[in-house]
Chains A and B, each alone.
Chain A
């Protein structure tokens, strides 16, 4: 990095230096410029796989406000740190679709490999990490150029991807290796692989960046991974065919596809305190930034449903286009 660092070799004014730093900052962290006010829109961006659409839901009114066509059976989703861009995997088209959330328009479609599925965005520099189900690796894309800059080989059929809030580690749930790969986000090296339950699919990291939670489709449980130790420290049984996990208020919310429930785990006792009845095939699940509500996409029912994270009751429901998956962090 060739920033001017001393007054001896340059004649840049203080204001000029500040401007240079800001511009450099924008170049390195193109998504860091938005204010917090821009970030929270109270909106869900839902991938409807069979309808091949991405639908926008106003979470205040629980109304659909529009949609955009995304051919290729869209499944995975992540939103840029500034909340302005959605990255959606379209596995059948083998692309990552880049959606401007302001224009509500697909602005780029990028070939990313044979089976793009889970996707996550680096919270600091905006790089995009796409899991490839068939090629058994993560593709890393630069936030500005949207070019693939590297591939990280991981275990068999990586599905979910998550990144620690400080941006240090990238984790992938390697479904057919029954493990989580922990990757140094700077060197892009796999620093450890952690055995978890059978067929981990969704993976979610807590706000402290200390623990990761995988939903294990085959063993019907959730593995809790201590990221620094690189170890599974607890396993909690949930309903039939768990898919993904959301975290809010000291609880984990797990979608159970076959059981048609969301299992709620108390994270102090590591026990299920309630199975909330939801629509058939609950899949993508995410908590809003305040942790007040959890939103669930129900693939068979074609609904987005709202669970009150305290009372654990369903308090809202809206119909969305066919086959909502919303696999990833789909709220902004």
Chain B
């Protein structure tokens, strides 16, 4: 027991160093959507600014620069949790779609690693829209045999929660405003 503990302690710094870049485990995928009773242009107007994330109920504010240009950076202040540092990877106004990544992961805010995400609005016909939010990421603990709060299931659950919370609030906000 003692020996195991000692070995565990010895390996801890190594695990942290490796965590920065390795991606040995299986990449996870989450897709959440919501249908909103409003035109795609109207919905896109609410979410299209990379630096305007206040439509998400968990977001306190964002800071950053670079506009909607590839390489733009934003810091997302998550209510009561901490910050996420994100970068805009690509932006397509015509397709109503942008893609971004988390540059530096704070496992207390979101237990993921190597995270990228796509947010897009599609025409659902009859003046309606579908908002699609996709994520691709690794679990927070990138070595073998993760603790429960940093395993694949925990990562998927957390990201699903973020997307669901945001999309449902967005629908309420837009449809409520008539």
Contacts and interface: CB of A to CB of B under 8 A. Distances in A.
Interface of A: 49-50, 73, 75, 91-92, 114-115, 117, 133-134, 157, 175-176, 199, 218, 240, 258-260, 280-281, 299-300, 322-323
B27 A299 contact: yes
A50 B27 CA distance: 8
Contacts of A176: 18, 21-22
Given A258-B89, A258-B101, A300 B29 contact: yes
Interface residues of B, number: 19
A258 B22 CA distance: 17
A306 B78 CA distance: 42
B26 A73 contact: yes
Contact of A199 (B21, B24, B90, B144): B21
B118 interface: yes
Contacts of A259: 90
Interface in B103-140: 116, 118, 134, 136
B59 to A, nearest CB: 24
Contacts of B118: 280
Nearest to B135: A300
A222 B22 CA distance: 19
B29 A323 contact: yes
A269 to B, nearest CB: 26
A218 B143 CA distance: 19
A158 B90 CA distance: 30
A199 B21 CA distance: 9
A114 B25 CA distance: 11
A265 B99 CA distance: 25
A134 B21 contact: no
A322 B28 CA distance: 11
The SS class assigned to the A binding surface is loop
A218 B21 CA distance: 9
A100 to B, nearest CB: 25
Contact of A50 (B21, B26, B89, B116): B26
Contact of B24 (A133, A260, A299): A133
Interface string B18-59: 100110111111000000000000000000000000000000
A97 to B, nearest CB: 15
Interface of B: 18, 21-22, 24-29, 89-90, 99, 101, 116, 118, 134, 136, 143-144
A175 B25 CA distance: 14
A50 B143 CA distance: 19
A50 B144 contact: no
Contact of B29 (A73, A92, A134, A322): A322
Nearest to A72: B26
Contact of B22 (A92, A157, A322): A157
Contacts of B21: 176, 199, 218
A182 B21 CA distance: 24
B29 A117 contact: no
Contact of B26 (A92, A134, A240): A92
Contact of A49 (B27, B89, B101, B144): B27
A92 B26 CA distance: 8
The 3 closest A-B pairs by CB, nearest first: A73-B26, A133-B24, A115-B24
A288 B90 CA distance: 31
Contacts of A133: 22, 24
Contacts of B116: 258
B89 A91 contact: no
Contacts of B99: 258
Given A258-B116, A300-B134, A50 B29 contact: yes
Nearest to B28: A50
Nearest to A280: B118
A114 B22 contact: no
A29 B143 CA distance: 38
A256 B25 CA distance: 20
Contacts of A280: 118, 134
Contacts of B22: 133, 157, 175-176
A280 B92 CA distance: 14
A268 B28 CA distance: 38
Contacts of A75: 26
A127 to B, nearest CB: 24
A134 B134 contact: no
B24 A49 contact: no
Given A73-B26, A115-B144, A323-B27, 9 more contacts: A91-B24, A91-B26, A114-B144, A134-B143, A175-B22, A176-B18, A199-B21, A240-B89, A300-B29
Contacts of A49: 26-27
Contacts of A300: 29, 134, 136
